[in-house]
Structure 1
């Protein structure tokens, strides 16, 4: 009977260790998901705040540049048109370089997920 008791004790020990492993793995992935969500939310929040402030600054700078160019061209409409043209050209350059931008973003994100 001692062989059966020994096997029973061994199987009980294996089941207990398996439960501990499953619980530890569950807690790890729960913590990992919390970490990923926290980092993502923090990044998005910072992006919105900093991006909003930069956008407001860019708007004021654009209006000021349009006024200066309007004085230079002696026509406010031409000043605003010139600033619009500058943004149009910048938009075209960014559109042409979008694949390089995608590659950079993928490289940065793959480094974050590989950690």
Structure 2
């Protein structure tokens, strides 16, 4: 089961507003889920899609690591900002493919989805 968080607003926010900053950030629910019925933690990948100001196409950053283990994400997330973003942490379902291409959100033709 994957965990998702999104933001759409007039005020740009740093990507860390979804990943790290709030008490129920994706990082927090990835390793301490309160209501997860199946699985234990979301450690099979992290990705975030966002629309930088002035661009019609989203940018995607994906890693096979959980948010707290990626050495680049902690430095990028506080300085990259957007008024539209979607992020996810993955807990791979047994039997389904495992790899960077299977970590949501996915982007294509100006759209991001999970």
- Specify the TM-score bucket, using the shorter chain as the normaliser: under 0.3
Q: Provide TM-score, normalisation by structure 2.
A: 0.26
Q: Provide TM-score, normalisation by structure 1.
A: 0.25
By percentage of residues, which structure has more strand? Answer: 2
